[in-house]
Structure 1
């Protein structure tokens, strides 16, 4: 039986504090509620926090998988709404500098679970360091989370510039987060689009916006996803609209496809050619 292709979506934000991890968690839950088999990879190998935000206790993490001590299935945590969580190890610096041998171990590990998931969400670390850019560049889809602050826009532009110039990424999706209105979200997208149109050869796609919502703060305190804790809140409704949109995004053509391609590119990011993203 030929398995379906796995959709790989990297969620990044350039600077920290733009809410990308909460977007990743809630998008994953919304997709799982819609019937998708979702895995969320915490790719912040220095300051992992997805398991903490969800109140999950990770006995083992991806470090043990890389070392060959256990399989990826062994460390996957059962998250809310049926989503699977792949925890990283907080404060372990060696995970930010994996060598080729350990990356090869990751390829084997992910190949083993390819038939079990439909969507892999990759929550990256903040910044535009090599490890962050490698994850983002290898993903099929890039969702860049920005907010209406000068530093967020500047860092987002820097990320887009690196991805388009050095990795051949020609298309990225922009999500305006914590906005006061849809008009503010649209204006934020257009502001970023204008500067990119002027200086870069890249296509930005508007993924919509998520409003600032006090309910999110309460959900974080409860260590629960907003879409489950306050499903009728404005931000939760916006996330569900995003999830519906994600389900219309094109899938990779090959069976299992982009999951294998994604992990393989972590071995050799320079191998990503223009047009393959």
Structure 2
């Protein structure tokens, strides 16, 4: 199983949309995919996909349900573990809550090929924790200078505090494809100058497309609403690139989770 954390320094960069459509792209290629909405206090994935969970992560942490019981298997073929909405207490899990999730993740991820942690923006405790639990990390930005600066800030914290040295970099909401590589090169130069030996791999870019807004309003993935659109083509290219990459950190979820407790 590949365990991938998807983060952004700044909100509003389309992170959850990318995760949902990437999950669908992988399902189309025959993989079994699970998304954990790890923005635990501000649920997004269920809203984006028009899901109506009867229970969510709050019920798991209170002992009233298990991760297996709250997981929703969508019509698109991938599973979603829903978060709660407007619950401040969930924005920072305590050690006992993290251990509870660890024990249950082993069961719910049986047979899964890809597990995505869809994280909140910024550098809060949960964001850093799930980045450490993951084998691979995707950082998403847009060409907006503040989004780029915040993406760099996230990378800097993970590197300086926890010595995380490998990231995939994805640029969303591009006016043209070549702009994505330019953004990547700009951030990469800053990383190299101030942080040194970090592996920042360009995963690709997604162009702006009115189809995305249309899909959000329909609460469906844009891959289903407009499979031939330029943004869908870009997303499939990102999927192909991801499949060619291999995680540098090996080991099952239990081992990674235990190691995270040691260094966090």
Give the TM-score band, short-chain normalised: over 0.9
1: CA distance between counterparts of 2:17 and 2:4?
Answer: 15
**2-structure distance, mates of 1:155, 1:137:** 19
Counterpart of 1:154 (choices 135, 149, 159) is 149
Contact 2:133 2:253 in 1 (8 A): no
For the Cα contact (< 8 Å) 1:66–1:103, is it kept in 2?
no
CA distance in 2 between partners of 1:233 and 1:114 (Å): 32
Q: 1:59 to 1:158 in 2, by over 3 A?
A: same
Residue matched to 1:177: 172
The whole-number CA distance in structure 2 between the counterparts of 1:189 and 1:253 is: 23
Q: Report the 3-state secondary structure (helix = DSSP H, G, I; strand = E; otherwise coil) of the residue aligned with 1:41.
A: strand
Secondary structure, counterpart of 1:16 in structure 2: coil
Number of residues paired by the alignment?
Answer: 263
Q: Secondary structure at the match of 1:204?
A: strand
Give the 3-state SS of the residue equivalent to 1:85 in structure 2: strand
What is the Cα deviation at residue 102 of structure 1?
1.6
Is 2:229 the counterpart of 1:233? yes
Q: Equivalents in 1 of 2:255, 2:145: separation in Å?
A: 34
Distance 1:135 1:225 in 2: 24
Helix, strand or coil at the partner of 2:244? coil
Instruction: Map 1:1-277; keep pairs closer than 5 Å.
Output: 6-201=1-196, 202-251=198-247, 257-264=251-258, 268=261, 271=263
Aligned CA-pair RMSD: 1.6
Give, in whole Å, the separation in 2 of the partners of 1:137 and 1:66.
Answer: 21
Three-state SS of the structure 2 residue aligned to 1:81 is coil
SS class of match (1:210): strand
Q: Quote the Cα distance in structure 2 between the aligned partners of 1:249 and 1:81.
A: 24
SS of the residue corresponding to residue 11 of structure 1 reads strand
Local SS of the residue matching 2:109: helix
1:11-31: per-residue Cα shift (whole Å, max 9, x none)?
111100111110011101111
In the alignment, structure 1 segments of 5+ residues that lack a partner are 1-5, 273-277
Following superposition, the deviation at residue 66 of structure 1 comes to 2.1
Following superposition, which runs of at least 4 residues in structure 1 exceed 4 angstroms of deviation?
Answer: 251-254
Q: Is the 8 A contact 1:46 1:89 kept in 2?
A: yes
TM-score, normalised by the number of residues in structure 2: 0.95
For 1:87-112, what per-residue CA distance to the aligned partner results, in whole angstroms no more than 9, with x for missing partners? 01111122122222221110111011
**TM-fit CA distance, 1:145:** 0.6
More relative contact order, 1 or 2 (CA 8 Å, 6+ apart): 1
Query: Partners of 1:181 and 1:258 in 2: how far apart?
Result: 39
Q: Structure 2: where are the runs of 5+ without partners?
A: none
Q: Does the aligned pair in 2 maintain the 1:175–1:209 contact within 8 Å?
A: yes
